[in-house]
A and B are shown apart, each in its own frame.
Chain A
């Protein structure tokens, strides 16, 4: 892994953006990395714009927010447009095609049909955030699937644990299958 990786997750309130950021950071702690995780959101509990940031480092992180994102995880088209200008030129954008129609920007794009997968499997879009985290672990130089699984296991309420682990596995499988078919 590089010295520092800056990851931004963004969408609207209720999509589990903050939780996904927290789980990602917790997985970073599992890997022995320095982590910094912050959020911003409107005063309303649901529906407003929502952003989470995770900085992973091999050494103590001096500035804990994202300045240029190496990875953007876009849960909404609005968020995608908002945070595109802050992308590193060689950065990667994971997006959910259910909400996001990406443009031609020269970045690496990874389509993750997280919402559709969640709807097909659970009948609700609620686990899309965890599906997305599963997909993220399959990118090079990020968090391992093992650490992410541990983080999800430790931080899920009991009634959601089984569904969350399944969603995570589905996200990993989405990416593995794609690699197989490439």
Chain B
């Protein structure tokens, strides 16, 4: 059986330390991953990604195009991916909303692509320049029907580079759209990052073989490109393993939708990443992600110096969601705390499996959650 392959390649920049904004780091992570196509539309606070790709992608033999809107952007990305290129777009909440039909098409046609969402305070135009984290559920449920894309949550400029690279690798490995769920606060943050000499990149399996079905337990079929002479038949309608429309056949639809879920869920252990801080003996545990996890770790470290039994679980992967880990963790805690720059989107997922009391703190005022807020909440719980 042929599979996606892993290779070591040189990064997009000479090895060394760089001072980058999060958005610049996303662009270099994408270039290092071998991105060859960017189609996008300007929107705050993501536009610096697009601007850097406009300058850098042609230098590296890729294609950049500014499309007429976000709907066209995701469509061009899917077309480019089927023509054989690693492809991406970047936008913010309003653009993600417009892209949802296309993202659903990418899920259903198993088109690898990377969608960077630099989240800002919504809904609607909201606070266009301010931070938010309100697109987590949209990434999972925004498109009609059942879809299971992958979503990653970076907390630093270094991770904007690292996780963008990983997003491409996961997309190519599993033939699925992968979201990088950035936040304005990290996108516009500037930090020193290390670019390694070589990075590990995944190259898709171009076949031969049926492009939309497999008997292998892996569940990920090969993906030839347009022009390979395979006479590909790609459609967003329910299709058999060769691509022929089977819109009247219940079994074909069931097999396809279930396989698209299983190919992700059966590899959850390979996909899901997280970090635990001081959880071994913690009685109070925080679950956080993205920028908020930095505030949380700062607060946890301060309280640990006072000898308080607090810890942090930081989620780097939001979809598929790590229900098992959260269930096991909360079984050993007296109290679980969450902090989110939305009305409790991830907290709802935690609630599904939480085995201890859960305190949810939400903040939707366009500012980051301060470590002082987190510290105060922990003290309340411990008192």
CA–CA, A41 to B127, complex, Å?
Answer: 12
Q: A62-B294, A63-B295, A63-B298 are in contact. Are A29 and B188 (CB under 8 A)?
A: no
Counting chain B residues whose Cβ lies within 8 A of the other chain, the interface size class is: 20 to 34
CA–CA, A62 to B301, complex, Å?
Answer: 10
Q: Is A161 an interface residue (CB 8 A)?
A: no
Residues of A within 8 A of B19 (CB): 25-26, 29, 35
Q: Is A108 an interface residue (CB 8 A)?
A: no
CA–CA, A22 to B128, complex, Å?
Answer: 22
CA–CA, A62 to B191, complex, Å?
Answer: 11
B298 close to A62 (CB less than 8 A): yes
B 317-329 binary contact with A (CB < 8 Å = 1; else 0): 0000000000000
Q: 8 more A-B contacts (CB under 8 A) besides A22-B190, A61-B191?
A: A25-B190, A34-B192, A37-B191, A38-B190, A62-B297, A62-B298, A63-B295, A67-B372
Q: Is A13 an interface residue (CB 8 A)?
A: no
Residues of A within 8 A of B381 (CB): none
Residues of A within 8 A of B301 (CB): 62
Q: Is A39 an interface residue (CB 8 A)?
A: yes
Q: A38-B185, A43-B128 are in contact. Are A64 and B192 (CB under 8 A)?
A: no
Closest to B130 in A: A40
B 129-161 binary contact with A (CB < 8 Å = 1; else 0): 100000000000000000000000000100000
A37 close to B297 (CB less than 8 A): no
In the complex, 28 of the A-B residue pairs with CB atoms within 8 angstroms, ordered by the A residue number, are A22-B190, A25-B19, A25-B190, A29-B192, A33-B192, A34-B191, A35-B191, A36-B189, A37-B189, A38-B188, A38-B190, A41-B129, A42-B129, A43-B128, A43-B129, A61-B191, A62-B297, A62-B298, A62-B301, A63-B294, A63-B295, A63-B297, A63-B298, A63-B371, A64-B156, A64-B191, A65-B368, A67-B372
Q: Is B379 an interface residue (CB 8 A)?
A: no
Q: Which A residues between 49 and 70 are near B, CB-CB below 8 angstroms?
A: 61-65, 67
Smallest beta-carbon distance B93→chain A, Å? 16
Closest to A34 in B: B192
Residues of A within 8 A of B297 (CB): 62-63
Closest to B368 in A: A65
Partner of A37, one of B17, B190, B294: B190
Q: Which A residues between 9 and 28 are near B, CB-CB below 8 angstroms?
A: 22, 25-26
Closest to A32 in B: B17
Residues of B within 8 A of A38 (CB): 185, 188-190
Closest to B191 in A: A36
Closest to B128 in A: A43
Most buried by B among A38, A61, A64: A64
Q: Which B residues between 327 and 383 are near A, CB-CB below 8 angstroms?
A: 368, 370-372
Closest to B291 in A: A64
Residues of A within 8 A of B156 (CB): 64
CA–CA, A170 to B368, complex, Å?
Answer: 38
Closest to A43 in B: B129
Smallest beta-carbon distance B231→chain A, Å? 51
Residues of B within 8 A of A29 (CB): 17, 19, 192
Closest to A26 in B: B19
Q: Which B residues between 96 and 133 are near A, CB-CB below 8 angstroms?
A: 128-129
Residues of B within 8 A of A39 (CB): 188
A64 close to B129 (CB less than 8 A): no
Closest to A55 in B: B191
CA–CA, A34 to B156, complex, Å?
Answer: 13
Residues of A within 8 A of B371 (CB): 63, 67
Closest to B185 in A: A38
Most buried by B among A29, A34, A38, A63: A63
Q: A62-B294, A63-B295, A63-B371 are in contact. Are A35 and B189 (CB under 8 A)?
A: no
A36 close to B298 (CB less than 8 A): no
Closest to A37 in B: B190
Residues of B within 8 A of A64 (CB): 156, 189, 191, 294
Smallest beta-carbon distance A175→chain B, Å? 25
Smallest beta-carbon distance B356→chain A, Å? 26
CA–CA, A25 to B297, complex, Å?
Answer: 23
List 7 A-B pairs, minimum CB-CB distance, nearest first: A63-B298, A37-B190, A29-B19, A62-B298, A29-B192, A38-B189, A36-B191
Residues of A within 8 A of B191 (CB): 34-37, 61, 64
Residues of A within 8 A of B294 (CB): 62-64
CA–CA, A61 to B191, complex, Å?
Answer: 9
Closest to A22 in B: B190
CA–CA, A33 to B17, complex, Å?
Answer: 11
Residues of A within 8 A of B189 (CB): 36-38, 64
CA–CA, A61 to B295, complex, Å?
Answer: 11
Q: Which B residues between 182 and 204 are near A, CB-CB below 8 angstroms?
A: 185, 188-192
Smallest beta-carbon distance A153→chain B, Å? 14
Smallest beta-carbon distance B154→chain A, Å? 13
Closest to B371 in A: A63
A35 close to B190 (CB less than 8 A): yes
Q: Which B residues between 220 and 237 are near A, CB-CB below 8 angstroms?
A: none
